[in-house]
Amino acid sequence: MRPSPARVDAPDPDAWLPLPEPGDLPTIEDLIVGAAPPGVDDVAIEERPSDVPQSPARADAPHPSVWLPVPSPDDLPPMTNIVFPPPGSEPPGDDITPQLSPARADAPHPSVWLPVPSPDELTEPKLAPAADGQAQRRAHPFVHLLGSRVARAAFVMLIAATLVGSTIAIWDLVRVKPLPVMIRIDHAVPVARLTTAATVAEFLVQRHIRLGPDDRVVPGLMAALHKDTHIELFRAFPVVVDLDGKVTTRPTTYAVPARFVREQIGPSSRVTIREAPARLAAGSHIVLRTRHSGTLVVDGQQIPYNRAALTVRELLVSYSVTLGPEDKTDPGIDASLTDGMRVQVVRVGHATRTVTVPYSLADETVKDPKLDVEETRVDPGAAGTINVTYEVVQNNGVEVQSTVLSRFISVPARPKVTRIGTHAEPQWDVLAHCESGGHWDRPDVPNGFPGGLGIYVGTWHQFNGDEFAPLPNLATREQQIIVGRRIKAAYGWGAWGCARNVLHWAH
């Protein structure tokens, strides 16, 4: 026994396995034969069928007719002649007679290829008969190795690794990556969240957000989620509704009274809001009335009415008609209105006076997409008249006091409407998006290129932009496009670097 050469100090000879001498090791043939189970001998090489030819890959001399000959080094031409053949010389290899390769599809030489066994021989391999009652010997000395513990362990590890790798690959394909979504509850500040949910309902469950029976979610609960989906959650709150005198409490998620009427009362041209706050909240009161039409006779005038009123009193209030202490109505003041009803006001014991006064409406400016940006149309409008009835108190024939009893529009007025065209070629909005992100009021003072189209201040003045505003960003979109058209007519799209270098428009 020799000490191990892996240690520096002399080891304890009793603590290390002995290192055998190379001469004491068994031969490979002994190891192969010894791997067989006890009592079983391997098939001897001499028992190999004699009709099986040797493989051309063995070290034995191959059949000379199926392999290219290996030339002698002395027969090879110099390297310089191969790389640079002398003029008039024949190409190398012309004196070699080509022969068929055994790898071709043609039938090979039968003496150099192993025979192809039949399927029956593969299904049940034939074993040599055992001598003296011994077990049959195996067809190959290594077949039994598959039953060893190491082989079985390696096979199990291979299967396990394959399953784990397949599982990971499939998981990478099917797993859902988190998506960013925005959620806002009751008009609060939107909050960004990451989710793996596929629908709005799954997202709410993941976030532990409970819904009441009357809450509303936009988009719907079954809507699919995408990147940057905006989810709106509106909590229901109670409002008091008076519809033609019938008072009920209803839950709603709509803060705008008109939207509440349209969505929850029903789309009807006859139901109109009579009283309501600007925005609904918990406990708000909203008064709704059904429209009625008929004729109102008051202070010598007959007025066709079509008003959202429940009673005669409400009808008179809508027309600002005031009753004196002794005045009365026919039908009575608290009578319910019906379609076609004639309502008359009777003045008792008072002198009245009716005058006609003119009135007008404020001017209006409207953007018209049907008109070009350089086109403007003006509707001059017209003044109207109002009949005002006064109750007059006189002393000795001199009027000392007057009180307005009613005011009715006899001739409706029309406002002056200025229509400004907004239609332009779509290239201008594309250019503005490229130059300023679509911000037509961008200051951009440090660079001197304000406005949506990035027009230089000096160029703005040169092309008479002063008629609209001193700077481009102080002018409207339409006015900037008008000046832009003037610049384009002189220089083409090349006047804008964004059009030339980014959008690649022709000059």
Instruction: Tell me the domain boundaries of the chain.
Output: 179-235, 238-349, 352-418, 424-502
Q: Which of 235, 233, 222 is nearest to 190 (CA)?
A: 233
Q: Which CATH class is domain 424-502?
A: mainly alpha
The tens digit of pLDDT for each residue in 304-316 reads 999 989 999 999 9
Topology of the domain comprising 238-349: Ubiquitin-like (UB roll) (3.10.20)
Say yes or no: domain 352-418 is CATH 1.20.120.1730. no
| DSSP string for residues in 89-137 | PPPTTTTSPP---TTSSSPPPTTSSPPPPPHHHHHS---PPPSTTPPPP
Query: What mean pLDDT comes out for the span 32-54?
Result: 51
In this prediction, residue 301 carries a pLDDT of 86
| DSSP string for residues in 322-369 | ---TT-EEES-TTPBP-TTEEEEEE--S-EEEEEEEEE----EEEEEE
- Poorest-confidence range of 91-95, 104-108, 413-417, 488-492? 104-108
Phi and psi at 24, nearest 5°, equal -85, -10
In this prediction, residue 491 carries a pLDDT of 92
**pLDDT at position 110 over 70:** no
- Poorest-confidence range of 132-136, 221-225, 432-436? 132-136
**pLDDT at position 42 over 70:** no
Query: What mean pLDDT comes out for the span 213-226?
Result: 90
**pLDDT at position 507 over 60:** no
Q: Which CATH class is domain 179-235?
A: alpha beta
Task: Give the Cα separation of 407 and 390 in Å (integer).
Answer: 9
Q: What is the mean pLDDT of the chain?
A: 79
Q: Residue 75 class from Cβ within 10 Å (0-12 exposed, 13-18 middle, 19+ buried)?
A: exposed
**pLDDT at position 13 over 70:** no
- Poorest-confidence range of 30-39, 165-174, 286-295? 30-39
**pLDDT at position 353 over 80:** yes
Q: In what order do the strands lie in the sheet with 216-218?
A: 191-195, 179-185, 229-234, 216-218
pTM beyond 0.75: the answer is no
- Poorest-confidence range of 199-203, 267-271, 344-348? 267-271
Confirm if 354 and 298 have CB atoms less than 8 A apart: no
- Strands 376-379 and 417-423, how do they pair? antiparallel
Query: What mean pLDDT comes out for the span 295-306?
Result: 90
Q: By percentage, how much of the chain surpasses pLDDT 70?
A: 69
Query: What mean pLDDT comes out for the span 185-208?
Result: 87
In this prediction, residue 45 carries a pLDDT of 44
The tens digit of pLDDT for each residue in 389-443 reads 888 887 766 778 888 888 888 899 999 999 999 999 999 999 999 888 888 988 8
Which of 16-25, 154-163, 434-443 has the largest mean confidence? Answer: 434-443
Query: What mean pLDDT comes out for the span 210-232?
Result: 89
DSSP state of 502: I
Task: Give the Cα separation of 86 and 73 in Å (integer).
Answer: 20
Domains 238-349 and 424-502 fall in the same CATH topology? no
In this prediction, residue 423 carries a pLDDT of 92
Higher pLDDT, 214 or 186: 214
Q: How far, CA to CA in Å, does 371 sit from each of 253, 255, 420?
A: 39, 36, 7
- Poorest-confidence range of 76-90, 203-217, 304-318? 76-90
